[in-house]
């Protein structure tokens, strides 16, 4: 098995950009749940699947192959390699 993992580098956005991104993300998630209950009959199984997918996505964001920081931190991180 290959132990050489790819590193993903994410440069943090501004505070306003982060807030807007969070609002859009939570609105889309709430929209999925509302869509499920309004048009699909409100299946609890679908709600649970949406929540599991969201938790899986969040777990992936906090993996060890991901480095997140400001532009200066990224430059410092890459120069140390």
pLDDT at position 6, please? 65
The structure's pTM equals 0.51
Q: Does any domain span residue 2? A: no
The half-sphere exposure of 34 on its side-chain side, counting CA atoms within 13 A, is 6
Overall number of domains in the chain: 1
Q: Does any domain span residue 28? A: yes
pLDDT at position 5, please? 66
Q: Does any domain span residue 3? A: no
Give the chain's residues under pLDDT 70.
1-13, 61-63, 81
pLDDT at position 1, please? 44
pLDDT at position 7, please? 64
Q: Does any domain span residue 57? A: yes
Residue 39 near residue 25 (C-beta atoms within 8 A): no
Q: Does any domain span residue 19? A: yes
Residue ranges making up the domain that contains 23: 8-80
Q: How far is CA 27 from the centre of its chain?
A: 14
Q: Does any domain span residue 39? A: yes
Residue 49 near residue 57 (C-beta atoms within 8 A): no
């Amino acid at each position: 098995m290959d132990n050489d993992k790819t590193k993903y580098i994410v440069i943090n956005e501004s505070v306003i950009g982060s807030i807007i991104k969070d609002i859009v993300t939570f609105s889309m998630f709430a929209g999925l749940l509302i869509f499920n209950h309004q048009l699909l009959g409100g299946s609890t199984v679908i709600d649970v699947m949406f929540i599991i997918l969201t938790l899986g996505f969040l777990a992936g964001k906090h993996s060890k192959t991901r480095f997140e920081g400001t532009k200066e931190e990224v430059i410092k991180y890459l120069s140390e390699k």
